[in-house]
Amino acid sequence: MSESDSASQLFGRPTAAELIAAVAEFLDGEVRSTTSGAVNFHALVAANALRIVERELLDVSDVPDLLGYADEDALATAIRAGDLDGRDTEVMGCLRELVRHRLAVAHPGYDA
C-alpha cells in the first residue's frame, strides 16, 4: 500500500492531493479569470507550484537507484570525495535518472 493510500484511509476524502488540486483549479480558473497584472501572474505561479506538490503526493514511482547510497546527500558526498571515480558511466546514468524523475514531477512531458 502506498503512502498516499494509507493517508487516504486515515484521513478520508478529500485527500491532500485532491485539496491541492482544487485550490490550484480555483487559482487557475476563478482568480486568473478575474484578475490581471501581478495578481494574475502570482496566481499562475501559485497554481503551478500546487500542481507540482500534487504530483509529488501522487508519485508512486520507484526511487532511482543511488548506486547503493542511502540518499542523494550521501551520493553527492561520495562523488565529491572521489569515491566513484572510474564509474563515470554508472554515475552519469544515475544522475540522468534522478533528473528525469524530478522533471516528471516538476515539468511533465519535458523530456518527451
What's at 52, amino acid-wise?
I
**According to the model, what pLDDT value does residue 27 have?**
98
**What's the whole-model pTM score?**
0.78
- The pLDDT of residue 26 is 98
The stretches in the chain having pLDDT less than 50 are none
The confidence score (pLDDT) of residue 43 equals: 98
Q: What is residue 43's three-state secondary structure?
A: helix
Q: DSSP secondary structure string, 45-111?
A: HHHHHHHHHHHHHH--PPPPP-TT-SSHHHHHHHHHHTTTTT-HHHHHHHHHHHHHHHHHHHSTTTT
Any idea where the domains of the chain sit in the sequence?
A: 1-60, 62-112
Give the model's pLDDT for residue 62.
87
Q: Whole-angstrom Cα distance, residue 43 to residue 51?
A: 12
Q: What is the pLDDT of residue 7?
A: 66
Of 57, 69, 52, which Cα lies nearest the Cα of 104? 52
pLDDT for res 1: 54
- pLDDT at position 96: 94
